[in-house]
Structure 1
Amino acid sequence: MSETVSLTYGSEEGDFYMQHIKRTEPFERTNHFHGTYEIYYLLSGQRAYFIKDRTYLISPGDLVFINRHDVHKTSDVGQPGHERVVINFSDTFIGKDHPLSDPSLFNVFRQPAHVLSLKLQDQIFTQTIIGKLHKELKEKATGFETYIRLLLVELLLFSSRYAERNDAVVFEHASPLHKKISEIVQHINCHYQQPMTLSGMSEQFYMSPYYMSRTFKEITGFTFIEYVNMTRIREAQKLLRETDRKIIDIADAVGFENIAHFGRMFKKLSKQTPHEYRKHQR
C-alpha cells in the first residue's frame, strides 16, 4: 500500500481540517492555494516546499506556516516516502469574534521565513499537541470541538513565541539557479496582468525556453503556464470577493484576453464558476 492515513477530519476549505498520512511512494501535492491557514509538520522523509516565490528544503521536525491564499506545493526530494501532519483552519474558527482570538496568534503566518526548524525538546512538545488533537478528533468526546480550539491556540502561541526567540536564519537560495527562478516567480507575481509567454520571459531572463521550462518545473513544482494561470485566477478570486466589478472586467484585469478561457481556468482551479465563487463568498 502506497499510503497509510491515520486521520482525516473535516475539509481543507472548511473551518477545521487535520490529516495525518504516511506515504511510501512518490507524491506531488495537487492543491495550490486556499482560503484557510495551513500548518504543516514533517515527521519523516524530506520534502521540497515551494511557498509564494521560493523553495525550502523541509526536514523532520520542521513546522511550516502558510498564510491564506499563498501559493504552495510540495514535492519529493531524494528517496520518495514521507510522513506528515497538515492542519487547516479558517478565520472564523478562532477569528476576531472568538473569545480565544488574539492577533499575536497569527504573527507566525506573517513572518518572512515560512519554516521553523524545531529543537528536539520543541519537537516533542509539538508532537504532544498533535497527539492530543489526533485523540480528540478520533474519539469526539463531549466538548472536543472546544478542546481542539484550545490546542490549536496553544500550538500557535508556542510557534509565535518560538519564532520571536529564535531569530529566523536569513533565507539563502539553494543555488544561483534557484535564485533566478525565484526572480522569475516574483516578476510573474507583480506583472501577471501583462501578456506573458515562455519565450518572452526566457529572453528577458537570459535563458533558453527549454532550459527555463525544465528548471521552472523542477524548482517550483509547476509548469510556467500553470503558475501564470494560477496567479491570475488567485487575483481574480480576490477581486470577486472584494469588489463588485463585472466578471468580464475582472478577467481582463488579471490578464486573460479571452473570457471563455478565463471561465475554463477558473472552474478548473476553483471547482466553481466565477458566479458561483462570488455568491459563496458573499
Structure 2
Amino acid sequence: MTTSNLHRQPAPPLYERIKGTLREGILSGHYAPASLLPSEAALGEQFNASRITVRQALADLQNEGLIFRRHGKGTFVSQPKAFQNVTALQGFAEAMSAQGHAIRNRVLTLRTVPAPTDVAQALQLAPGTAVVELHRVRLLDQLPVSLEVTWLPEALGSIVARADLVTRDVFLVLEQDAGVALGHATLAIDAALADHATATALDNTGAGAALLRVERLTHDAQGAPIDFERLYFRGDAFQYRLRLDRQVASHAQSILPLQSTV
C-alpha cells in the first residue's frame, strides 16, 4: 500500500457536495437574493442524485438561513442579513445608513412612567422615579427588523420626546439636542422567543420565533448611565458582528528552557 493511499481522505457524501456547490453559488452571487433555485428534479439530474439526497442538502441550507421555501412555488435564495458592527458606539440608523440602507421608525408608545426596579437600578435612580419610556419598531428598507424599548431619565427624556423620532436615532438626539457627550455602552446579548406583542410589532414574525435580544446601557463621557434599552431583533433578518483580537496577558509566565540533568 502506498503512502498516498494511506493518507487519502474519503470523498464527502453526495449531499455535502451538492450543498457546497449551491452555497458557493449563493455566496458568490451566481444565485441572486430572492431568485428561484432549480427544482429538486433538476438538481437531481444535475448531480445524478436521488430526490432524498437533494432534499437533505436543501434542508441544511435552509437551516443555515441561505434559502427558504414557499409551498407550491419552489425554493428561493434568502436576502442577506443586515448587520451592525459592535466595535463602535453607534445608533441603528447611523450604522445602517452608512451601508446604504433606508431607516424609518414606527413609534408605538412614548410616555412617562415610574421606573421599574431593574430600570432604576441600571440608571442609578431610586425605584419609582419618573422616567421616559419609548417603544419603537425599526424598519430597515421598509422591513420591520427590531423592537426597541428605551428608558431615559425624565430630564433627558423630555428633550428626546420633542424630537423627530420617526427618522432620528436617540443617540443623535442626545448629542445634538441635549448636548450630551456620549461615552461608552455595555451590552448583554442573548436569545429570546417572540411573545405575542413583539410578534405583532414585527409584523410577519410569529409568536415563538427566534429573536436576538440585546440589553444596552449607555453612559455619558463622565460615566453616568443615561440610556437603558432592550432591543429585540428578528433572528432571520439581522445580526451583530464584532472583531476580536488576541491579547496575550503581560503577566504570563515565560516558557523556561528545559535543563539537562546529565
Q: TM-score range by the shorter chain?
A: under 0.3
Q: Comparing both structures, which one devotes a greater share of its residues to helix?
A: 1
> 1 or 2, which has the higher strand percentage?
2
TM-score, with structure 2 as normaliser = 0.24
